[in-house]
Amino acid sequence: MRKAIISILMVLLLALLTQIYFTFKERNQLKSKLQTLTAEAQILNKENSEIESEIEYFKQPENFEKELRSKLNYKKPGEKMIIITP
């Protein structure tokens, strides 16, 4: 009788230890995923700040025109464009 009780307790203890092991394993995986997502969120926040600063820059008409002129060879009506090559 006593051996049966000890055997049952050993099985219960083994089941409990197994559950604890899997719980800690899942916790470590979730912790790792949280760190990855936190780093990704920081990168995205930095990108967002850069985009917002570009939006503010291009809201200024003179900056917008300057970029149009330099990248798209924009000219006003009546202006002549001169392209200088090295």
At 74, the amino acid letter reads: Y
* Residue 67 neighbours by CB under 8 Å, 6+ apart: 58
- Whether the pLDDT of residue 33 is over 90: the answer is yes
- Taking the model in full, what pTM does it have? 0.59
pLDDT value for 7: 93
pLDDT tens for 55-86 read: 999 899 898 888 887 787 777 777 777 777 87
In a domain, residue 49? The reply is: yes
DSSP state of 76: -
Domain that includes residue 12, residue range = 2-72
What is the spatial distance between Cα 21 and Cα 24, in angstroms, rounded to a whole number? 5
Number of domains into which the chain is organized: 1
- Kindly state whether residue 79 falls inside one of the protein's structural domains: no
Tell me the pLDDT tens digit for each residue of 39-50: 999 999 999 999
Ranges of H-type helices in 1-86: 2-59, 61-72
Q: Is residue 80 part of a domain?
A: no
Euclidean distance between CA atoms 66 and 72, whole angstroms: 10
**Can you tell me the distance from the alpha carbon of 43 to that of 37, in angstroms, rounded to the nearest whole number?**
10
pLDDT at 48: 98
